């Protein structure tokens, strides 16, 4: 696996670490349990990081030097892809021939390196976009910067180079075909998953005690990187509208925002706190740094609702995590969120704070409906375990290897009698 711009060892919710990190970690761990040896190449961001770290049995993280360890923005990484690819090639030069059966690249930057690596090693390239420039640019938040044209070109190249493309949802599969001219026969749909061992239902009173929230509060939770794309400002404006409509709610409402600045959000790292003050809701909003997975599960259990107001989401793993804990979701009707939410919440069309205030307020004031959605949430999330995701990925890998053999007559049909055919992993 290749994950250039963010390490599987990084804390989700900070910098560029998010759902992609969780995806890589969880699938790699479960592939390792199935006897698949997984090596994840990522960029070194600290001199203190060891060259190789064992993430789990059968799973190694290999750090590659490419550019300065700190202060390098994601938009500057295309200039380091040559250095990163050279580092990968130097490592592989020490490995026995045929050591790798397949490359799975994550995000377009990794796809550029994966394209070279797969071509050099003569193995299939499976690629997952995670997000796409043309999709993001079609639904930008106000004043957010569009993705550069160089990314669009790079994504087009990876689409053409990949043996198979993995899409999270049917909608994303259609976007690959419609926006990037992908061959629909080469697009496989693999739903992301949720850790059903960590994210489980639990006692709400105990969870609120664990995260220091009052037992009788109405709690709205936001989990994600603080950047315009994720639209936490829409949530804060909706909360202000909610309190204007019902001032008596102020004494019991808590809005918890878990995450750190990322992307264009780094331009104003304290901008969301300032907005809360300007809206007059600073007294009901708590800003919490990214939490460990076990602590995050407690926050989900403690919340009445999870709000996901993003302008674009390829899937929305936080929605599944909350649902696995029995927490209903109010989400924007964009990208993969309808698939992630299912019948476990409410979808809001657009990002008008008034519409969001109505959706949040109606659900907060309807405990019977919330209880129904909570039951739906647990059942819905149970269908999305990471084991199922990894099993489906393994099917995709096998198909990519079979196709590679079929396209190489000298391997698939040996020219000398009695020779075995090439093995299929």
The residues, any chain, with a CB within 8 Å of residue 58's CB and separated by 6 or more, are 31, 32, 33, 35, 36, 37, 38
Measured CA to CA in angstroms, residue 84 lies from 61, 77, 110, 112, 114 at distances of 14, 10, 10, 10, 11
Instruction: Enter the tokens of residue 243.
Output: 């309190």
Give residue for tokens 């995709």: 396
Tell me whether residue 313 is annotated as binding: yes
Task: For residue 131, say whether it is annotated as part of any ligand binding site.
Answer: yes
Known binding residue 20? Answer is yes
Say whether 321 counts as a known binding-site residue. Answer: yes
Strand order across the beta sheet in which 125-128 lies: 52-56, 59-64, 38-43, 2-3, 103-106, 125-128, 164-167, 187-189
Residue 300 labeled ligand binder: yes
- Integer Cα distance of 69 and 241 in angstroms: 43
Helix (H, G, I), strand (E, B) or coil at 191: coil
Q: Do 78 and 55 meet the contact criterion of CB atoms below 8 Å apart?
A: no
Give 48: exposed, middle or buried? Use CB within 10 Å, 0-12, 13-18, 19+: exposed
C-alpha span between 101 and 339 (Å, rounded)? 32
45 is in an annotated binding site: no
Query: Is 263 labeled as ligand-binding?
Result: no
**Residues 110, 263, 2: CA angle, nearest 5 degrees:** 15
Please check if 200 is assigned to a binding site. no
21 is in an annotated binding site: yes
Long-range contacts at 342-348 (CB < 8 A, ≥ 24 apart): 342/376, 342/380, 343/373, 343/376, 343/380, 344/319, 344/373, 344/376, 344/377, 344/380, 344/381, 345/306, 345/319, 345/373, 345/377, 348/309
User: Is 375 marked as binding a ligand?
Assistant: no
383 is in an annotated binding site: no
Q: 301 labelled as ligand-binding?
A: yes
* 180 known ligand binder: no
Q: Is 5 annotated as a binding residue?
A: yes
In whole angstroms, give the CA distance from residue 43 to residue 296.
26
Annotated binding site for Mg(2+): 300-301, 303, 327
Annotated binding site: 5, 11-12, 16-21, 74, 107, 131, 151, 225, 230, 300-301, 303, 313, 321, 327
Annotated binding site for UDP-N-acetyl-alpha-D-glucosamine: 11-12, 19, 225, 230, 313, 321
């Amino acid at each position: 696996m290749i994950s250039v711009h963010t390490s599987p060892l990084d804390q989700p919710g900070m910098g560029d670490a998010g759902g992609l990190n969780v995806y890589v970690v969880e699938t790699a761990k479960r592939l390792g349990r199935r006897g698949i040896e997984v090596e994840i190449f990522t960029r070194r961001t600290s001199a203190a990081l060891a060259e190789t770290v064992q993430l789990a049995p059968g799973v190694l993280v290999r750090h590659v030097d490419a550019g300065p360890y700190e202060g390098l923005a994601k938009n500057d990484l295309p200039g380091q892809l040559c250095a990163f690819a050279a580092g990968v090639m130097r490592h592989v030069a020490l490995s026995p021939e045929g050591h790798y059966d397949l490359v799975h690249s994550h995000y377009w930057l990794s796809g550029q390196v994966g394209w070279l690596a797969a071509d050099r090693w003569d193995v299939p390239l499976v690629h997952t976009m995670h997000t796409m420039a043309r999709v993001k640019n079609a639904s930008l938040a106000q004043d957010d910067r569009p993705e550069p044209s160089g990314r669009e070109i790079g994504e087009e190249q990876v689409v053409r180079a990949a043996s198979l493309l993995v899409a999270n949802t049917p909608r994303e599969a259609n976007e690959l075909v419609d926006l990037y001219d992908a061959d629909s026969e080469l697009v496989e749909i693999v739903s992301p998953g949720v850790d059903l061992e960590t994210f489980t239902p639990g006692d709400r009173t105990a969870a609120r005690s664990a995260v220091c929230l009052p037992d009788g509060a109405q709690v709205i939770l936001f989990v994600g990187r603080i950047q315009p794309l994720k639209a936490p400002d829409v949530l804060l404006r909706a909360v202000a509208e909610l309190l204007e409509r019902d001032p008596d709610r102020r004494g019991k409402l808590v809005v918890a925002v878990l995450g750190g600045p990322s992307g264009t959000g780094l331009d104003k790292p304290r901008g969301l706190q300032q907005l809360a003050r300007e809206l007059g809701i600073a007294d009901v909003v708590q800003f919490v740094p990214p939490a460990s997975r076990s602590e995050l599960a407690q926050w989900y259990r403690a919340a009445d609702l999870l709000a996901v107001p993003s302008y674009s989401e390829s899937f929305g793993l936080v929605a599944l995590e909350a649902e696995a804990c029995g927490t209903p979701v109010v989400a924007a009707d964009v990208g993969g969120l309808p698939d992630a939410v299912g019948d476990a919440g409410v979808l809001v069309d657009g990002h008008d704070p008034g519409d969001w205030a109505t959706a949040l307020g109606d659900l907060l004031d309807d405990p019977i409906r919330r209880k129904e959605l909570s039951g739906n949430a647990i059942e819905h999330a149970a269908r999305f375990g990471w084991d199922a995701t990894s099993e489906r990925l393994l099917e995709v890998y096998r198909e990519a290897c079979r196709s590679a053999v079929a396209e190489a007559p000298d391997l698939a049909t040996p020219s000398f009698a009695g020779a075995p055919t090439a093995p299929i992993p």
